[in-house]
Amino acid sequence: MSMNTTFAFDVYGTLIDPLGIATTLRCYVGDKAPAFAQIWRDKQLEYLFRRALMRVYRDFPTCTRQALAFTDLRLQTRLATDAVDTLMAKYLQLPAYPDAAQSLARLKARGHRVYAFSNGHPDDLRSLLRHAGMDTQLDGVVSVHDVASFKPDPAVYQHFLDSTESAQSNTWLVSGNPFDVLGADAAGWNTAWVKRDAAAVFDPWNIQPTVTIADLRELADAV
């Protein structure tokens, strides 16, 4: 591996745990919190995919709020306006995965370039990563917002390469989301799938990640 290797870390589902919102949800929906968090996340991703395909862009916070509204209707939880506002604010304070910061530090110590690369809005990402204490460990943050689309649109992977002056052959996408890994593979990148759940299934497309790891702390030695 070249010393000028660039690592593009997905944020939601890789560095930051979107299902961590369940802790706050419990105050509003009780035992429905885990199911609510999962449906919210699934619908959020669906909305991103739909809008990328339709070329009808709305930013990440809008898609997240609309997915929240869907989940509220689906589970009939009847959230008040102030509860919705609180949950959206807490989305900027989601917990980091415990292996994230150490992985970034190890890669930086070895001389590699490390970026956040996300579907999130740039302002939200800066707030989220600052709250998690990871902002100072990154060389930068690249958001798809600048090209008005979402992963896995090929345009967003090219946008990352252009923004960071990186080459496909020396760039690694690190993600816990199989759709992101497949998108980066289609763009010619190296890929690392973070399989934190032993029961997780990678899409059976006859494509495999370059490496599969169970913990981000394994990354530096696996690539």
Strands 171-175 and 113-118, sheet pairing? unpaired
Residues pairing with 116 in the sheet: 9, 141
- How far, in Å, CA of 205 to CA of 27, rounded? 40
- How far, in Å, CA of 91 to CA of 212, rounded? 28
Give the amino acid at 216: L
- How far, in Å, CA of 73 to CA of 112, rounded? 45
Q: Which residues form the catalytic set?
A: 10
Tokens 């990352």 locate to 160
